[in-house]
Amino acid sequence: MSCLFCKIIKGEIPCKKIYEDDQIFAFHDINPQAPVHVLIISKKHISGIPQLVIDDDALIGKIMRTAHKIAQQLNVADQGYRVVVNSGRNAGQEVFHIHFHLLGGRSMNWPPG
């Protein structure tokens, strides 16, 4: 498989890992857009939001709870943080393996983009 994130999970590509369990892997983004920028990914290869199935509902909920735990660990939970999922090329998705961006450590503007 040529998926960048699958290779990171397998340890074929180095990363600065911050969290791992049996379903989820999280690491610092190599091109951070905020002082805290972590990517949280499913160990199950899912290309994106359109490929989610009902059986993935618990996994997505667990990813969101894990995002909050990581935000607490990195001391941005109390001041606020953003969790972003890009779906498709026009939305900015570059790696087609579902992933969640945890951004914090600065004031976020609205609207984004």
Contact by Cβ (8 Å): 35, 105: yes
Backbone angles phi, psi at 88, to 5 degrees: 95, 160
Distance CA 42, CA 55 (A): 13
Given 28, 45, 97, 99, the catalytic residue:
99
Residue 99 known to be catalytic: yes
Catalytic (active-site) positions: 99
